[in-house]
Structure 1
Amino acid sequence: MYQRILLAVDGSQSSDLALSQATIVAKATGAEVKALFVADDSDAFFEVTYFDTKALMEGILAFGRKALAEAAGKLEAAGVRHTTQLVEKPVAPGQISSTIVAQADAWDADLIVLGTHGRRGVRRLLMGSVSEGVVGKTNRPVLLIRSEVEG
C-alpha cells in the first residue's frame, strides 16, 4: 500500500483539494506525505513589460514557502507525518512536471497527488498542463484532483 505520498502544491483551489485527498489516503494507509512546491519563473518571460527578475523570484519563493507552511499546518492538524520541500529551480525552465516526477523518483514515492485546473481550449494550449505532463512522464500511480473548470 502507499507509504510515501508526494503532494505537489501551488496554492490554488485544486491544490487545496489535492491536499485534502492526500490527507485522507495518508490517514487510511499510515503514509508519510511530502508536500512539494516547484518555483518556476519561466511564465514571466512571456510578459512584454519590464520586470525585476530577482524580485520576481523572491516573490515566487515567498509564495511557495507560504503554500508549504499552510499545507504543513493542515497535515499536522490531521496527524499526518509529513515533510515539505521547496524546489527553487525546475529541472529546466517551464518543466514543472518533469521536476515533480524527478522528485517522486528521488524520494521513491508510492503515489503522486496533485490538483488539475481543468483548463480547456486556448488557455490549455498556451499554459500547458502540469498534471498531464506528470501522468505522461511517470510510471508511478497518480491521483489527480480536479477543481471547477476555469473559464
Structure 2
Amino acid sequence: MYRNIMVPIDDSHCSSRALDEAVRLARATGSNLEIIHVIDYGFLRVRAHGGELEEEHQHRVAAGNALLVKARHHAERAGIKFTERLLDDKSTLGDVANRLIHDIQDSKPDLVVIGTHGKSGLQRVVLGSVAETLVRHASVPVLVVRGDIPLAEEVAAGQSTTSA
C-alpha cells in the first residue's frame, strides 16, 4: 500500500487536520511519514531591504522549525516512523506549490496529504491554492483534507470541528 506519505505543513487549521489524517494513515499502514515545511519567500517580491530580509528570514526559519517540532511530537505520540524537513529555498519567491512539486519528484512519496481551506471562486483566485496545484501537477496521488469538514474518526466519535 503506502510506504512513504508526505505531508506539507504550515501554521493553519487545515494543515493541522491534514497532519492528523496523515498520522492516522501512517499508523494504519505502517508507513513512514515525511513532514515538510516550506519557507514562503513571497515577501521578497515586494520588500527588499538588507537588514529586514535577514531578520525576516530568521523569523520564518524559527517559525518553521517550531511547526516541525510540534508535528514531531504528534508523530512520536502516535508511535509512527517519520522524518521532518525544512525546505529553505529563497529562489522559489513564494511559489510553495512548485517547490513541493520538485520535492515530490525527488523524494518520490507514495501519497501526499495536504490541507485546504476549501475556498472557491474569487477567494481561490486571489489566494491561490497550493493543494490545487499539487492535485493537478504532482506525479503521485494527493489526498486533500478540507479544514471545514470533520474527519471520519471525528464523525465516528461524535465530534465536530467545523470552522470557517
Q: Do both proteins adopt the same fold according to a TM-score greater than 0.5, normalized to the shorter chain?
A: yes
List per-residue Cα deviations over 1:43-73 (Å, max 9, x = no partner): 46447xxx81111111111110011110011
SS at match of 1:52: helix
- Counterparts of 1:1-151 in structure 2 under 5 Å? 1-43=1-43, 45-46=45-46, 52-89=52-89, 92-148=92-148
Amino acid at match of 1:129: S
Write the letter of the residue equivalent to 1:54.
E
Stretches of 4+ moved more than 4 A in 1? none
- Check 1:123–1:150 CA distance in 2 against 1; reply closer, same or farther (3 A cut): farther
Aligned 8 A contact 1:38 1:90 in 2? no
DSSP-derived class of the 1:36 partner: strand
Cα separation, partners in 2 of 1:97 and 1:23, compared to 1, 3 Å: same
Percent identical pairs in the alignment equals 29
Q: Deviations over 1:81-133 (max 9, x none)?
A: 00100000166222211111221221110000110122334332222111111
Q: CA deviation at 1:150?
A: 8.0
What stretches of structure 1 of length at least 5 have no aligned partner? none
2: distance between equivalents of 1:90 and 1:31? 31
Distance 1:80 1:104 in 2: 21
- The residue type paired with residue 72 of structure 2 is A
* CA distance in 1: counterparts of 2:82 and 2:145, whole angstroms: 20
- Residue in 1 that maps onto 2:151: none
Query: Over aligned residues, Cα RMSD in angstroms?
Result: 2.4
How much has 1:42 moved relative to structure 2? Answer: 0.9
Q: Which moved more, 1:70-79 or 1:54-63?
A: 54-63
Spell out, residue by residue over 1:13-34, the C-alpha distance to the aligned partner (whole angstroms, 9 max, x if none).
Answer: 1111001100111011100001
Residue identity in the other structure for 2:6: L
3-state SS of paired residue (1:144): strand
